[in-house]
Amino acid sequence: MARSALDEMSDTGAFQRTASTFRNFISPDPNSQFPPESGRYHLYISYACPWASRCLAFLNVKGLQKAISFSSTKPIWERTSQNDEHMGWVFAATETEEAGAEPDHLNGAKSVRDLYELASTNYSGKYTVPVLWDKKLKTIVNNESSEIIRMFNTEFNEIAENPTLDLYPVHLQAEIDKTNEWIYPAINNGVYRCGFAKKQGPYDEAVKELYEALDKCEEILGKQRYICGNTVTEADIRLFVTLIRFDEVYVVHFKCNKKMIREYPNLFNYTKDVFQIPGMSSTVNMAHIKRHYYGSHPSINPFGIIPIGSDIDYSSPHDRDRFSA
C-alpha cells in the first residue's frame, strides 16, 4: 500500500495517483451525519500542497474564515513514527518553530498520520492533506479536495460572508466538468507524472500531454478572461494552484522545462489576475512551496538544495481586464 506520492508507481515506471479514502459529505439534510455548523470543522493543510491550497482558496473567497478554522503543517516531510521509515506531513512543535506552521491544538497530533490513525485505527492508505476534520465527532469527514471545494462552495452559504459567489454555477457545470477532465490529468497531475516518472517513456508521454494542454489554455485565454468564460469558476482555482508553482518548482524539480509560464503571455497575466482575487494571495506561501518540493523528495534532489528562483511579483499589473466581465 502506497504511503506517499513517491510510492505510487506502476511497473512501467509511470506515476499513478491513488484515490482518496474518506468521502463523507457535509449537507444540511436533516439526516446528515455532518451538518454545516459554524465552528464545527477544521481544515488541515500544507501551504506547499496544491490540492490543499485550492481548499483554502475556496474557504477564503467564500468568506468562511469565521466558520471553519484551518492550520498548516511544516513544509518538509519528516519521520511520522519511530516504528517505520514513513516520511510525511508533521506539525510544528511550537508556535515559533516555523513561520506559517503551527502545532495541532485540536488533537495534539504530531503528524497528519496521527489524525488518520485517530479517525481509523486500521487505516492503511496514504496520509495526505487536505483533511477536513469534524471537531465534534473527532474524525475525518473528507480528504478529497475536489469534493471539499464543492462543499465549501454551496453547503455553508447560510453562514458564508460571500454566499452569492458561486464557483460552480448550474449553467456552467457541464463546461467546468469538461475542462477539469483534461486539465487534471494533463496539467494538475501531469506535472507529477513528469516529475515522479522513473523511466523515459512515461516522462516523454506526460510532458507532451502537459505542454499540449498548456498551449490549449493559452489559446483559450486569448479569447476570454477565465478558462470557462468571463467569470471566475472552480476550474480557474484548480488550474491556478499548478500555474503558481510552475516556474519556481516544476520547471526545475519536475523537469517541465520546455517553456515557463511567464513565456505564455495569456497564462502569465491570467495567473496574476487570479492571484489578485481577494483571498487568493494569502493561500500562496512560496517559501513553504519551495522548501517542501526541494526538501522532501531525496530521490529527485538528494542534497535538498533550493534553487534561487525568479521571485515573480504576481501582484503587479495584468492585462486581463481587457475582457468584459
Residues assigned a catalytic role: 49, 192
Cell of 242: 499548478
Cell of 211: 505542454
Distances (CA, A) of 302 to 178, 210, 247, 257, 295: 39, 25, 21, 20, 8
CA distance 47 to 282: 10
Strand-pairing partners, residue 78, are: 88
Distances (CA, A) of 237 to 53, 80, 176, 227: 9, 31, 11, 10
Cis status of the peptide bond prior to 130, with omega within 30 of 0: yes
CA distance 295 to 76: 6
Phi/psi at 191 (5° precision) = -65, -35
Cell of 68: 471553519
Contact of 139 with 45, CB cutoff 8 Å: no
CA distance 42 to 46: 13
Helices (H) then strands (E): counts for the chain? 10, 6
For 177-213, give the secondary structure using H, E and C. HHHHHHHHHHHHCHHHHHHCCCCHHHHHHHHHHHHHH
Alpha helices per DSSP H over 254-285: 265-275
∠ Cα 6 10 13 (to 5°)? 80
CA distance 124 to 144: 16
The one-letter code for the residue type at 168 is Y
